[in-house]
Amino acid sequence: MIHNQIIIAKTPESAGRCAAQHFRALMQTKPYCVLGLATGSTPIPLYRELIAMNQRGEIDFSTVRTVNLDEYKGLSPEHEQSYRYFMNDNLFNHVNINKANTFVPNGLAADVGAFCLEYEKKIEELGGIDIQLLGIGHDGHIGFNEPDSFFPKITHETQLTEMTREANKRFFDGDIGKVPTAAITMGIGTVMAARKVILIATGKDKAEIVKKSFFGPVDPQVPASILQLHKNCVVILDEEAAGAL
Ligand code: PGA
Protein backbone atom coordinates (compact mmCIF):
# COMPACT_ATOMS: atom_id res chain seq x y z
CA MET A 1 0.00 0.00 0.00
CA ILE A 2 1.45 3.34 -1.02
CA HIS A 3 0.83 6.15 1.47
CA ASN A 4 2.69 8.96 -0.27
CA GLN A 5 1.11 12.17 -1.38
CA ILE A 6 2.65 13.30 -4.67
CA ILE A 7 2.47 16.97 -5.63
CA ILE A 8 3.52 18.11 -9.10
CA ALA A 9 4.61 21.75 -9.28
CA LYS A 10 5.48 23.54 -12.49
CA THR A 11 9.09 24.56 -11.84
CA PRO A 12 11.83 23.92 -9.26
CA GLU A 13 10.99 27.33 -7.77
CA SER A 14 7.32 26.47 -7.32
CA ALA A 15 8.30 23.08 -5.84
CA GLY A 16 10.45 25.00 -3.33
CA ARG A 17 7.57 27.37 -2.50
CA CYS A 18 5.24 24.42 -2.01
CA ALA A 19 7.69 22.74 0.41
CA ALA A 20 8.14 26.06 2.25
CA GLN A 21 4.42 26.15 3.01
CA HIS A 22 4.74 22.85 4.88
CA PHE A 23 7.64 24.24 6.91
CA ARG A 24 5.75 27.48 7.63
CA ALA A 25 2.71 25.57 8.87
CA LEU A 26 4.88 23.53 11.24
CA MET A 27 6.94 26.49 12.48
CA GLN A 28 3.86 28.62 13.15
CA THR A 29 2.19 25.90 15.20
CA LYS A 30 5.26 24.38 16.91
CA PRO A 31 7.92 27.02 17.69
CA TYR A 32 10.31 24.44 19.23
CA CYS A 33 10.13 22.15 16.23
CA VAL A 34 13.00 20.01 14.93
CA LEU A 35 13.77 20.35 11.22
CA GLY A 36 15.76 17.64 9.46
CA LEU A 37 17.59 19.43 6.66
CA ALA A 38 19.33 18.43 3.45
CA THR A 39 21.97 19.85 1.12
CA GLY A 40 22.47 19.71 -2.66
CA SER A 41 21.01 21.81 -5.47
CA THR A 42 17.41 20.67 -4.97
CA PRO A 43 16.59 22.43 -1.65
CA ILE A 44 18.05 25.81 -2.64
CA PRO A 45 14.70 27.29 -3.88
CA LEU A 46 13.08 26.12 -0.63
CA TYR A 47 15.79 27.77 1.47
CA ARG A 48 15.40 31.01 -0.52
CA GLU A 49 11.68 30.98 0.22
CA LEU A 50 12.24 30.27 3.93
CA ILE A 51 14.64 33.23 4.07
CA ALA A 52 12.01 35.44 2.39
CA MET A 53 9.31 34.22 4.81
CA ASN A 54 11.62 34.97 7.75
CA GLN A 55 12.28 38.47 6.38
CA ARG A 56 8.53 39.06 6.00
CA GLY A 57 8.05 38.04 9.63
CA GLU A 58 5.98 34.96 8.75
CA ILE A 59 8.32 32.45 10.38
CA ASP A 60 10.63 32.69 13.38
CA PHE A 61 13.74 30.51 13.67
CA SER A 62 14.76 31.67 17.16
CA THR A 63 13.51 28.52 18.92
CA VAL A 64 13.88 26.08 16.02
CA ARG A 65 16.41 23.24 16.19
CA THR A 66 17.85 21.60 13.07
CA VAL A 67 19.64 18.33 12.34
CA ASN A 68 21.26 17.68 9.00
CA LEU A 69 21.17 14.44 7.09
CA ASP A 70 24.83 13.99 6.29
CA GLU A 71 28.36 15.32 5.96
CA TYR A 72 31.45 14.36 3.97
CA LYS A 73 34.05 12.53 5.98
CA GLY A 74 37.31 14.43 6.23
CA LEU A 75 35.96 17.92 5.46
CA SER A 76 36.16 20.58 8.18
CA PRO A 77 33.15 22.85 8.84
CA GLU A 78 35.14 25.68 7.21
CA HIS A 79 35.69 23.76 3.95
CA GLU A 80 33.57 25.43 1.28
CA GLN A 81 32.18 22.08 0.10
CA SER A 82 31.33 20.83 3.57
CA TYR A 83 27.64 20.55 4.31
CA ARG A 84 28.04 22.70 7.44
CA TYR A 85 29.40 25.47 5.21
CA PHE A 86 26.53 24.92 2.74
CA MET A 87 23.91 25.23 5.48
CA ASN A 88 25.44 28.40 6.90
CA ASP A 89 25.78 29.91 3.44
CA ASN A 90 22.36 28.93 2.06
CA LEU A 91 20.17 29.28 5.14
CA PHE A 92 21.52 29.80 8.65
CA ASN A 93 23.47 33.03 7.95
CA HIS A 94 20.30 34.65 6.56
CA VAL A 95 17.68 33.82 9.22
CA ASN A 96 17.33 34.44 12.96
CA ILE A 97 18.44 30.97 14.01
CA ASN A 98 20.76 30.33 16.94
CA LYS A 99 23.62 28.33 15.34
CA ALA A 100 24.09 26.49 18.63
CA ASN A 101 20.75 24.85 17.84
CA THR A 102 21.89 23.59 14.44
CA PHE A 103 23.50 20.17 14.18
CA VAL A 104 25.41 18.74 11.21
CA PRO A 105 27.39 15.47 11.49
CA ASN A 106 31.04 16.10 12.30
CA GLY A 107 33.09 15.06 9.28
CA LEU A 108 36.25 15.21 11.40
CA ALA A 109 35.04 12.99 14.28
CA ALA A 110 38.01 10.90 15.50
CA ASP A 111 35.78 8.06 16.68
CA VAL A 112 33.11 7.91 14.00
CA GLY A 113 31.25 4.99 15.59
CA ALA A 114 30.87 6.86 18.90
CA PHE A 115 29.94 10.06 17.09
CA CYS A 116 27.13 8.29 15.16
CA LEU A 117 25.61 6.98 18.40
CA GLU A 118 25.83 10.48 19.93
CA TYR A 119 24.08 11.94 16.87
CA GLU A 120 21.20 9.48 17.25
CA LYS A 121 21.00 10.36 20.96
CA LYS A 122 20.97 14.07 20.14
CA ILE A 123 17.99 13.61 17.78
CA GLU A 124 16.18 11.66 20.49
CA GLU A 125 16.96 14.34 23.14
CA LEU A 126 15.57 17.02 20.83
CA GLY A 127 12.32 15.06 20.75
CA GLY A 128 12.66 13.50 17.28
CA ILE A 129 12.40 15.07 13.84
CA ASP A 130 9.16 16.86 12.88
CA ILE A 131 9.90 17.24 9.17
CA GLN A 132 12.78 15.50 7.43
CA LEU A 133 13.63 17.08 4.10
CA LEU A 134 15.18 14.87 1.41
CA GLY A 135 16.54 15.13 -2.10
CA ILE A 136 17.14 11.98 -4.11
CA GLY A 137 20.24 10.72 -5.90
CA HIS A 138 20.16 9.26 -9.41
CA ASP A 139 20.69 5.84 -7.83
CA GLY A 140 17.84 6.41 -5.36
CA HIS A 141 20.04 7.34 -2.41
CA ILE A 142 18.56 9.42 0.40
CA GLY A 143 21.07 11.15 2.60
CA PHE A 144 24.15 9.13 1.66
CA ASN A 145 22.35 5.80 2.02
CA GLU A 146 23.49 4.20 -1.21
CA PRO A 147 21.96 1.08 -2.85
CA ASP A 148 22.71 -1.98 -0.70
CA SER A 149 21.35 -5.39 0.23
CA PHE A 150 19.70 -3.96 3.37
CA PHE A 151 18.30 -0.66 4.68
CA PRO A 152 20.82 0.81 7.17
CA LYS A 153 19.07 1.65 10.43
CA ILE A 154 20.96 4.40 12.23
CA THR A 155 23.54 7.12 11.58
CA HIS A 156 26.69 5.49 10.21
CA GLU A 157 29.77 5.91 8.06
CA THR A 158 29.30 5.00 4.43
CA GLN A 159 31.37 4.74 1.25
CA LEU A 160 30.15 6.87 -1.64
CA THR A 161 29.46 5.19 -4.97
CA GLU A 162 31.20 6.22 -8.17
CA MET A 163 27.84 7.54 -9.47
CA THR A 164 27.39 9.83 -6.46
CA ARG A 165 30.97 11.11 -6.58
CA GLU A 166 30.59 11.71 -10.31
CA ALA A 167 27.34 13.66 -9.72
CA ASN A 168 28.96 15.77 -6.99
CA LYS A 169 32.27 16.51 -8.71
CA ARG A 170 30.68 19.68 -10.13
CA PHE A 171 31.22 21.19 -6.68
CA PHE A 172 34.89 20.11 -6.59
CA ASP A 173 36.27 21.88 -9.69
CA GLY A 174 34.92 19.02 -11.82
CA ASP A 175 37.61 16.72 -10.38
CA ILE A 176 36.27 13.42 -9.02
CA GLY A 177 39.62 12.91 -7.30
CA LYS A 178 38.77 15.79 -4.95
CA VAL A 179 35.37 14.36 -3.95
CA PRO A 180 35.58 12.59 -0.58
CA THR A 181 35.10 8.81 -0.74
CA ALA A 182 33.20 8.47 2.52
CA ALA A 183 30.53 10.28 4.52
CA ILE A 184 28.55 10.17 7.73
CA THR A 185 24.81 9.87 7.12
CA MET A 186 21.62 9.40 9.08
CA GLY A 187 20.35 5.88 8.53
CA ILE A 188 17.16 4.94 6.73
CA GLY A 189 15.71 4.10 10.15
CA THR A 190 16.53 7.64 11.36
CA VAL A 191 14.71 9.09 8.35
CA MET A 192 11.73 6.74 8.69
CA ALA A 193 11.33 7.76 12.35
CA ALA A 194 10.65 11.40 11.34
CA ARG A 195 7.03 12.40 11.90
CA LYS A 196 6.82 13.79 8.37
CA VAL A 197 9.10 13.42 5.35
CA ILE A 198 9.21 15.83 2.41
CA LEU A 199 11.18 14.64 -0.60
CA ILE A 200 11.78 17.13 -3.39
CA ALA A 201 12.98 16.07 -6.85
CA THR A 202 13.39 18.41 -9.79
CA GLY A 203 14.79 18.13 -13.31
CA LYS A 204 14.38 15.51 -16.01
CA ASP A 205 17.46 13.59 -14.92
CA LYS A 206 15.47 12.54 -11.81
CA ALA A 207 12.37 11.32 -13.68
CA GLU A 208 13.39 7.65 -13.97
CA ILE A 209 14.53 7.25 -10.36
CA VAL A 210 11.37 8.98 -9.09
CA LYS A 211 9.26 6.45 -10.99
CA LYS A 212 11.34 3.53 -9.75
CA SER A 213 11.29 4.76 -6.13
CA PHE A 214 7.59 5.46 -5.78
CA PHE A 215 6.02 3.08 -8.30
CA GLY A 216 8.42 0.13 -8.16
CA PRO A 217 9.01 -2.49 -5.47
CA VAL A 218 10.36 -1.51 -2.04
CA ASP A 219 13.96 -2.60 -2.44
CA PRO A 220 17.18 -1.62 -0.61
CA GLN A 221 18.82 -1.37 -4.05
CA VAL A 222 16.57 1.71 -4.44
CA PRO A 223 16.86 3.22 -0.95
CA ALA A 224 14.16 5.90 -1.46
CA SER A 225 11.60 3.18 -2.23
CA ILE A 226 11.18 2.56 1.51
CA LEU A 227 9.40 5.91 1.72
CA GLN A 228 6.38 4.19 0.16
CA LEU A 229 5.90 2.74 3.64
CA HIS A 230 6.15 6.06 5.50
CA LYS A 231 2.73 7.16 6.77
CA ASN A 232 3.32 10.87 6.23
CA CYS A 233 5.60 11.40 3.24
CA VAL A 234 4.97 14.18 0.73
CA VAL A 235 6.81 13.96 -2.59
CA ILE A 236 7.10 17.30 -4.36
CA LEU A 237 8.18 17.16 -8.02
CA ASP A 238 8.52 19.66 -10.78
CA GLU A 239 7.01 18.76 -14.15
CA GLU A 240 10.30 17.42 -15.48
CA ALA A 241 10.92 15.07 -12.54
CA ALA A 242 7.32 13.88 -12.89
CA GLY A 243 7.89 13.25 -16.60
CA ALA A 244 8.05 9.43 -16.41
CA LEU A 245 4.97 8.96 -14.20
P1 PGA B 1 21.00 17.24 -5.75
O2 PGA B 1 21.41 16.01 -4.82
O3 PGA B 1 19.91 17.97 -5.00
O4 PGA B 1 22.24 18.08 -5.83
O5 PGA B 1 20.54 16.68 -7.04
C6 PGA B 1 20.39 15.19 -4.34
C7 PGA B 1 21.01 14.05 -3.55
O8 PGA B 1 22.07 13.54 -3.94
O9 PGA B 1 20.41 13.64 -2.55
Using pLDDT thresholds of 50, 70 and 90, give the confidence band for residue 47: very high
| pLDDT per residue as tens digits for the range 125-180 | 999 999 999 999 999 999 999 999 999 999 999 999 998 999 999 999 999 999 99
Mean pLDDT of 66-94: 97
Q: Please, where are the H alpha helices in the chain?
A: 12-29, 44-55, 83-90, 112-125, 162-168, 188-192, 207-215
> Which atom of ligand 1 is the closest one to the Cα of 142?
9
Report which ligand 1 atom has the smallest distance to the Cα of 40: 4
- Ligand 1 contacts CB of residue 136 (under 6 A): yes
pLDDT confidence band for 239 (50 / 70 / 90):
very high
Q: Is 135 in the pocket of ligand 1 (CB under 6 A)?
A: yes
Q: Is 70 a catalytic residue?
A: yes
SS3 call for 7 = strand
Residue 228: how many other CB atoms lie within 10 Å: 18
The CB of 137 under 6 Å from ligand 1? The reply is yes
Q: What number does the ligand 1 atom closest to the CA of 164 have?
A: 8
Residue 2 has pLDDT above 80, yes or no: no
| Mean pLDDT taken over the chain | 97
Share of the chain above pLDDT 90, in %: 98
Q: Which residues contact 175 (CB under 8 A, 6 or more apart)?
A: 169
Please compute the mean of the pLDDT values over residues 208-219 and round it to a whole number: 97
Amino acid (1-letter code) at residue 206: K
- State whether residue 162 is helix, strand or coil: helix
Cα angle for residues 42, 16, 166 (degrees, 5° grid): 5
pTM for the whole structure = 0.97
The pLDDT assigned to 3 comes to: 72
Is the per-residue pLDDT at 1 higher than 60?
Answer: no
Q: What is the pLDDT of residue 26?
A: 98
Mean pLDDT value across residues 177-195: 97
- Amino acid letter, 122: K
CA distance 134 to 125: 22
